[in-house]
Amino acid sequence: MATDTLTTKPKIPGSGFGLHVLMALLSLAMIVPFVWMVLTSLKSLPELGNPGWMPSALQWHNYIEVFHVIPFLRFMANSFVVAGWVTALQVLTSAMAAYSFARLDWPGRDRVFFLYLGTMMLPGLVMMIPNFENMVKFELVDTYLGLVLPAAFSAFGTFLLRQFMMGIPKALDEAAEIDGASKWRIFWDIILPLTRPGLVTLAIFTFIGNFQSFFWPLVMTKSVDKYTLPVGLLFFDTEHGQATHLLMAGVTMSVIPLVIVFIVLQRQLIRGIQIGGVKG
């Protein structure tokens, strides 16, 4: 009688401890720049040239001075508006495109998808010039629509959501069609709810990426009242000198909303990445 034997990999002594040490070192390397940023924001202007990290006295009024030098709340509101609209439109357009590529059958679908996917190989700076020319042609320079529209479509988002949708059994579509549901009803009431982890993951990546966007708002905006926060912080770097302590105070305050978004949605983000990794 043949007996089944279970084979297990031998565990290397101390491998778990070594992995934890490595992860701790990597975490420390990532935290150090944030610590330097916060400590620099609490220094006075004469202390910026000192080699030490710790300020002699904590200058909390630097954060108040930021609001006196620049319209910080206006810049942050612009960043929220632009990032919010880009996130909403990109999630919607990516979901619709992903549904077409994953659930619908039409001639040349796979070829079009690979061509669409090939645009991910193009650097963003390469696409900036033709996008800017289009915005000039349609008179959208220095407008909120000009900041939002070019970023409302994403090949990465389409690819990500397509992978989620391909893992959903097509029997659900067939059953819904038998009940008389249209393609739009299947997409909106069945596919989207089942793709929620992917939608949340894409929304987080899109919001954080566009909230921190710098080059496109710098090129597109001319009016100060339309500056986003990363562009507005350039006021601290002038020909009269660089107010690094105020710049770091502004950057610290700009990071806080992103940290809050990540903390609130981290479980859904991790779940979405895990599900996408298993299905992919």
Q: What's the confidence (pLDDT) of residue 276?
A: 54
pTM to 2 decimals? 0.84
Give the total residue count for the chain.
280
The predicted-structure confidence for 36-46, as pLDDT tens digits, reads as follows 999 999 998 88
Cβ contact 138:123 at 8 Å = no
Cα–Cα distance between 256 and 262 in angstroms, integer? 10
Q: Domains of the chain, with CATH numbers?
A: 15-59 (no CATH), 69-279 (1.10.3720.10)
Q: What's the confidence (pLDDT) of residue 18?
A: 81
The predicted-structure confidence for 215-265, as pLDDT tens digits, reads as follows 999 999 999 999 999 999 998 877 556 888 899 999 999 999 888 888 887
Q: Where are the beta strands (DSSP E) in 51-127?
A: none
Q: What's the confidence (pLDDT) of residue 280?
A: 44
Q: Where are the beta strands (DSSP E) in the chain?
A: 237-238, 241-242
Q: What's the confidence (pLDDT) of residue 145?
A: 95
Q: 236: burial class by Cβ within 10 Å (0-12, 13-18, 19+)?
A: buried
Cα–Cα distance between 118 and 211 in angstroms, integer? 25
Quote the tokens at residue 40.
Answer: 């620099």
User: H or E segment at 184?
Assistant: helix 183-186
The predicted-structure confidence for 137-164, as pLDDT tens digits, reads as follows 999 999 999 999 999 999 999 999 998 8
